[in-house]
């Protein structure tokens, strides 16, 4: 079985294509191939679905299935959307500018004309679920907000960037479980006219802090903009230190752009 391994800003994925939807075995497969020691290793597995006819199929080039490293399914993953967009372009499945259907809706993809490693996703509009959430924490977060940027995210802002490395996994895990959401801590870099935001995400399904999270970046950006902490364009810096460009459009869609790496062709020899 052939996978292509991708990395989007340090968030890594295993991608393959199929003409068939999941028959019940892909969650188990994802858990096995994403395992770092006895598998290939990745934060998630993505299946590009071809030939799926529907009344709206002319609006998009393909569909996808996304699986977290623990085998659970997710409606959306921002970094994976950039990886699969690049994969579809390189494999000749879709043009430089195209859309695909996720469980969170139609996602627009644009491959940069001068640098094909730069990929932009249109993640659509976010939803504010709840704000002014008070949770005792050692980071100095006065209140949290719960947003849906394709998947749910809890967002809290810190006043000291050292708090992004002062991480208490048991607390982050408890918040993740309580709200069934990814947990984000973010710091506004005042030295850059507030156009740079440092952040980290404890991701459900991975159950750890990842090198980057695209929907997490979108949620942090959306909340920072809502609070007047940044403008309609900002640079977000995840733990991988790769730069992510985010922009809010006039129709309130979040555009998300960054580098994508096509790393390796992997052959899975174990039986499914």
Nearest residue to 109 (alpha-carbon basis) of 159, 49, 44, 60: 60
Q: What CA–CA distance (Å, rounded) separates 101 from 208? A: 27
∠ CA 37-42-43, rounded to 5°: 125
Confirm whether 77 is a catalytic residue. Answer: yes
Binding residues for substrate: 11, 68, 78-79, 182, 203-204, 214-215
135, 129 Cβ separation under 8 angstroms: no
144, 159 Cβ separation under 8 angstroms: no
Q: What CA–CA distance (Å, rounded) separates 242 from 107? A: 22
Confirm whether 230 is a catalytic residue. Answer: no
Q: What CA–CA distance (Å, rounded) separates 135 from 144? A: 8
Largest CA distance in the chain: 54
77: Cα within 13 Å, side-chain hemisphere: 33
User: One of 34, 77, 230, 266 is an active-site residue; which one?
Assistant: 77
User: One of 34, 213, 230, 266 is an active-site residue; which one?
Assistant: 213
Tell me how far apart the terminal alpha carbons of the chain are, to the nearest angstrom: 9
Binding residues: 11, 68, 78-79, 182, 203-204, 214-215
Q: Structure tokens of 183? A: 């947990």
Q: Is 36 exposed, middle or buried (0-12, 13-18, 19+ CB in 10 A)?
A: exposed
- Give the active site residues: 77, 213
């Amino acid at each position: 079985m052939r996978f292509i391994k991708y990395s989007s800003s340090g968030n890594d994925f295993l991608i393959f294509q199929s003409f068939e939807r999941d028959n019940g075995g892909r969650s188990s497969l994802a858990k096995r191939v994403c395992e770092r020691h006895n598998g290939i290793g990745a934060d998630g597995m993505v299946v590009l679905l071809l030939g799926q006819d529907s009344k709206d199929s002319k609006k998009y080039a393909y569909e996808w299935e996304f699986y977290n490293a623990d085998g659970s399914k997710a409606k959306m993953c921002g970094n994976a959307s950039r990886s699969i967009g690049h994969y579809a372009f390189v494999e000749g499945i879709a043009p430089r500018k195209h859309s695909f259907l996720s469980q969170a809706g139609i996602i627009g993809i644009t491959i940069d004309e001068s640098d094909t490693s730069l990929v932009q996703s249109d993640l659509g509009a976010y939803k504010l679920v709840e704000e002014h959430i008070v949770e005792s924490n050692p980071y100095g977060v006065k209140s949290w907000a719960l947003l849906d940027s394709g998947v749910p995210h809890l967002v809290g802002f810190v006043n000291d960037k050292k708090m992004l490395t002062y991480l208490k996994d048991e607390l982050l895990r408890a918040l993740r479980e309580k709200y069934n959401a990814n947990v984000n801590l973010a710091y506004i870099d005042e030295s850059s006219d507030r156009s740079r935001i440092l952040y980290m995400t404890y991701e459900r399904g991975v159950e750890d802090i990842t090198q980057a999270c695209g929907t997490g970046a979108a949620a942090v950006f959306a909340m920072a903009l809502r609070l007047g902490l940044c403008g309609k364009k900002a640079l977000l810096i995840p733990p991988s230190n790769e730069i992510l460009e985010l922009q809010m459009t006039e129709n309130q869609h979040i555009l998300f752009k960054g580098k994508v790496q096509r790393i390796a062709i992997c052959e899975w020899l174990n039986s499914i």
